[in-house]
Amino acid sequence: MAELYLMRHGQTRFNLQGRIQGACDSPLTEEGQAQARQARKYFQEQDISFSQVYASTQERACDTAELVSGRTDYQRLKGIKEWDFGWFEGEREILQPKLTGPSYGDFFVQFGGEDSQAVGQRMTETLTQLMIKHKDDADPILAVSHGGAMWAFLLSLDLPDLPKLGLPNCSIFHYRYEQGQFDLQAVIDPVANHIIYQKEGDLR
């Protein structure tokens, strides 16, 4: 069995401005940096250390990974970067279509972006490779990604009871990987010190 802590980056300037920032990037705000340090405090209090740290290739994820782990030897992975929203990049979030289901599906493809299934597939393939690589590690791994990509990954798992979740900045998704399957154990908001979702009362 391998364990994964998949988390979202801290607050960015675009988050604060209410702008879409999929494939483009904006820096962490001071609040975003503080959120990352709070996540680091959570892991320390839970006595959780990592065999390896990964981050998407985008600056906001890399900076969060460094602040959370205190390490600079993390590895950058394109496979866990954010959903590409095409022409909507940098625009106000209010311009996005009203969400009527669990995902935007292929809406952004017509505007040069990605569809939900493609994002979920690359996330799944990348994270599966990591789980196989680290299957014998005593400690879990940390991967810092993005809200849209993390949600597409969760949808791709086709869980029988999909939890209704928000994805606040620096939210942490704890997965176990065994026999080729990802199993969601918990979702934690370390900033609010709140357990958003928990399976069978087990955080570890």
Cα 84 to Cα 53, 120, 146, 177: the distances in Å are 23, 12, 11, 27
Known catalytic residue at 31 = no
- Helix residue spans in the chain (DSSP H): 13-17, 30-45, 59-69, 116-133, 147-156
Find the catalytic residue in 3, 9, 66, 89. 9
Binding residues for substrate: 8-15, 60
Annotation says 134 is catalytic: no
Which residues in 49-86 are b (16+ Cβ under 10 Å) and which e? ebebbbbbebebbbbbbbbbbeeeebeebebbbbbbbb
- Calpha distance 96→59 (Å, rounded): 24
The number of CA neighbours under 13 Å toward the Cβ of 200 is 5
Feature table: binding site: 8-15, 60
DSSP 87: G
Pick the catalytic residue from 59, 66, 91, 146. Answer: 91
> Which residues form the catalytic set?
9, 91
